[in-house]
Amino acid sequence: MEEQFILRVPPSVSERIDRLLSDEASTSDEIPLDLCFSEDGRSGTFVIGNEEFPASLLDLPAVVESYKTYDDCALVKTADIGQMIMVREAGDPAPNTVEYRHGLTPPMKDARKRRFRREPDLNPELVQRVERDLLNILSGRTIENGNEQQQEETVANENTNKKVSSTSSPATPVEKPEEEAPETGANNNNNPAEVEQERSESEDSDDSM
């Protein structure tokens, strides 16, 4: 595949280029042709002879196929052309955008506005709802059942979150009732005679050992 582009020039420049490409150009003085662009790659200068013309690189609204033939019967595709270099007179204004409005043929006049539909303004909520419906269909659920199940899952998740938050919150301390001392110990401590008897028994056991 070759790299090609469309060169559109004013009528005066077109006549001079035709003379250069004709058979008589070999006998005439050679006229230099040059095309240079600036750093942005969109604006440049077209030079023919001693004259300079401003040029702009524009994007066509559609891709144009280029063919060539050697026997006027078989066509061979050589390139896909999507850009055009427009050469204009020095006083003509430069194009505002890099996208050219028109095509190369009369039916493609103002093609970007007449033949290309505008991008629709979509609601983000509608896009999310359609996305959920598609996921439900792919998972084998119907749209209504899928929405109900999603709502149930959402409610269940909210309930679990509430339970987790309630368990994670510090519990209020509960006052425990005072434990009563065992009766035996209390009675032994309150009866001094029994205490003395226990002491004497322990002393007798020590003497016997």
pLDDT of residue 124: 84
pLDDT of residue 7: 92
In the chain, the DSSP E strands lie at 6-8, 33-37, 43-48, 51-68, 76-87
Position 45 confidence tier, pLDDT thresholds 50, 70, 90: very high
- Bridge pairing between strands 33-37 and 6-8: unpaired
pLDDT of residue 84: 93
Position 186 confidence tier, pLDDT thresholds 50, 70, 90: very low
pLDDT of residue 80: 92
Q: Tell which residue, 98, 96, 81, 91, has the closest CA to residue 41.
A: 98
- The percent of residues in the chain predicted with pLDDT above 90, rounded, is 21
- Average the pLDDT over 115-142 and give the result: 84
- Average the pLDDT over 42-48 and give the result: 91
- Average the pLDDT over 65-84 and give the result: 92
Distances (CA, A) of 174 to 122, 170, 171, 178, 199: 58, 12, 9, 12, 42
- Average the pLDDT over 93-103 and give the result: 88
Q: Tell which residue, 102, 6, 16, 124, has the closest CA to residue 55.
A: 6
pLDDT of residue 50: 85
Six-digit token string for 68: 């060539």
Q: Please name every residue paired with 33 in a beta bridge, in sequence order, or none if there are none.
A: 48
Six-digit token string for 5: 């582009």
